[in-house]
Chain A
Amino acid sequence: MVENDSASKMHVDAPMLEWHDLTVAYGRRPVLWNVDFEIPKPCLFGIIGPNGAGKSTLLKASLDLVQRAGGSVRFWGQPLAQVRSRIAYVPQRETVDWDFPVTVMDVVRMGATSKLGWFQRGGKRERELALSSLDRVGLADCSNRQIGKLSGGQQQRVFLARALAREAEIYLLDEPMAGVDAGSQEQIFNILVNLRDQGKLIVAVHHDIRTAVEWFDAVALIDMRLVAAGPTAEILTPENLAMTYSGRLSVLDEIGEAVERGGRTS
């Protein structure tokens, strides 16, 4: 009995999202080395780093979309499989075929029905949930448009609405502001702030340091490994930024290549 109590206590106190010594490899080649960090409470959390640094890989590995080579990811102290229904993912816009014959409403409904069982189409409740999600992102009047006919900012908001329709507590977004004009970015940011104020955790991969300083409560600097993580003001220092952006640690590249070969470096 005592063990049970301490187990549930652990869950109550457990951080919302925890990366534990996470290493990810594409094929045999490591692309992300030993990321170890935790996010205890709801906040707006940014993942910042140069191109190809493994930021998207970090998100994908957290969701089991790519295989881990080592380490683990825990949500509220539990593995992903047990808490999937409380997590929503917003992938990069370019991964989707925008010529696909679905409307805005269809896409958001996919989010609402994604929690239902096999072969269950959903009914009134899902439709209303979808409508309210669309309303929250300001796209209620576009619901019958085919998704290819939207602007970049609108497409991003559709994806966001789809995630909102899952009524999740943790939102993982991959480059939500990429290819979106400044006005729409503000709009999206406000939606995310709202979510955070409602007690949700938002983790977003982001590419622009200037806006990161303004927007995020805490950040992680990633360049194939975790350079630093913590509250934004403390972490986004010139030294840390220099370490992240000044060019790949070539040692990691060489060792990665050696691992892929199965041999030694020079």
Chain B
Amino acid sequence: MIHMTALAAFIPYNTLVVAAGVAAVGCAAGVIGTFGVLRKRALVGDAAAHATLVGVASALLLTGQRDLAILLVGGLISAMVAIAFLVLIRKFTRTRDDAAIAIVLSVSFGIGITFISGMVSRGIPGSGGLERFLLGHTASLTAHDATLLGAVSAISVLCVVVGLKEATMVAFDPDFATAAGWPAATIDFVLVALVAVMVVVGLPAAGAVLVTALVVIPPAVARQWTERIVPMLVIAGAVGLISALSGVMISSLAVQLPTGPIVVLVATSFLIFSVFLAPCRGIVWRTRSACVFPSDSYDGNDTGTTADTVTERKS
């Protein structure tokens, strides 16, 4: 208690709460992002993120409220609509997946920009503040906002923790899960929806353009350090937390800096560090051949099928 009050003497209470809330967001984004990345859905999250702008702007337009909760709900709706479009495009057209993501991403962002710009030029109150959702700006968060973000993040992480068995089973082998009687498609949808929630909740921290980094980079870092799913979730959460926290702290010191780029660069430095120095997978370790990397490990008495399938990825 004593050191808490000492801390409070140096840092205003508001900043502490905001820091805690945004840190929670970073942690949750890392945890949930792990499942997104394992399901190869990293860029679906990106498309959803760019689409949030439309919803945020519409929410302001329709309700006239500048309350963060309402804006974010709008953002979530448009993010889910974007994901629905991706599914429809895949189902009903022959447009390739990568092109579909690029289309949804850019067009939805364009719609968002059109809305915001139109609202600004008509002088609709509060529309100027929408710009902060582009690149993130935690300095403008209130304690109340941050508590909301923190709560949503905590609930999302709880969902994953409680449903870990189901999520892992479906993420690893949806066919086996379906055959065993589990509603794999529904569980998969819940995982995607959680990614959308994280992307929306991460808007104040990193902005629509860069929030995908919060969801993609921490799991990538974690994968360098462990081969098991629970440690991977923990490390991803930690990396996300630290990145988000750094963003908040630096942002509160230099108020004109957008938070998003800072968060991304902190996370990436973790990644570069891990790529070089992580035990067993890190480049430095591999050149010293101290450890066994997937491509060169198999039981001697077999034809090394594993080697073929893994190394062909590298060529």
Contact = CB atoms under 8 A, between A and B. Distances in A.
Whether both chains belong to one complex is answered with yes
Interface of A: 60, 63-65, 81, 84-85, 87-89, 91, 95-103, 106-107, 110, 113-116, 118-122, 146, 148-155, 162, 166, 172, 179-181, 183-184
A60 B178 CA distance: 10
12 contacts: A88-B180, A98-B306, A103-B227, A106-B228, A114-B169, A114-B181, A120-B165, A148-B306, A148-B310, A150-B299, A154-B299, A162-B176
Nearest to B40: A97
A166 B173 CA distance: 15
Give the top 9 A-B pairs by smallest Cβ distance, nearest first. A152-B305, A151-B302, A89-B179, A146-B227, A84-B181, A114-B180, A151-B298, A63-B179, A149-B297
B258 to A, nearest CB: 33
B232 interface: yes
Contacts of B298: 149-151, 154
Nearest to A83: B181
Given A84-B181, A100-B38, A181-B303, A107 B172 contact: yes
Contacts of A103: 227-228
Nearest to A60: B175
A114 B229 contact: no
Contacts of A63: 178-179
A184 to B, nearest CB: 7
Contacts of B181: 81, 84-85, 114
Contacts of B182: 114
Contact of A91 (B173, B229, B309): B173
Nearest to B306: A151
A60 B294 CA distance: 31
Contacts of B256: none
Contacts of A99: 294, 310
Contacts of B129: none
Nearest to A62: B179
Contacts of B168: 102, 106, 110
Interface string B291-315: 0101001110111111001100000
B117 interface: no
Nearest to B227: A146
A154 B301 CA distance: 11
Contacts of A150: 298-299, 306
B243 to A, nearest CB: 21
Nearest to A89: B179
Contact of B177 (A106, A114, A121, A172): A114
A179 B302 CA distance: 10
A79 to B, nearest CB: 12
Given A107-B172, A149-B294, 8 more contacts: A81-B181, A84-B181, A110-B172, A119-B163, A119-B165, A121-B165, A151-B304, A154-B299
Residue among B173, B178, B179, B301 facing the most chain A CB atoms (10 A cut-off): B179
Contacts of B180: 84, 88-89, 114-115, 166
B178 A101 contact: no
Nearest to A152: B305
Contacts of A106: 168, 228-229
B11 interface: no
Contacts of A98: 306, 309-310
A95 B172 CA distance: 10
A103 B163 CA distance: 19
Contacts of A113: 165, 169
B313 to A, nearest CB: 9
Contacts of B132: none
Nearest to B164: A121
B176 A91 contact: yes
A111 B163 CA distance: 16
B226 interface: yes
B59 to A, nearest CB: 33
B223 interface: yes
Contacts of B303: 151-152, 181
B302 A181 contact: yes
A3 to B, nearest CB: 29
A60 B175 CA distance: 9
A24 B137 CA distance: 54
Contacts of A152: 302-303, 305-306
Contacts of B6: none
Contacts of A180: 305
A110 B169 contact: yes
Contacts of B223: 101
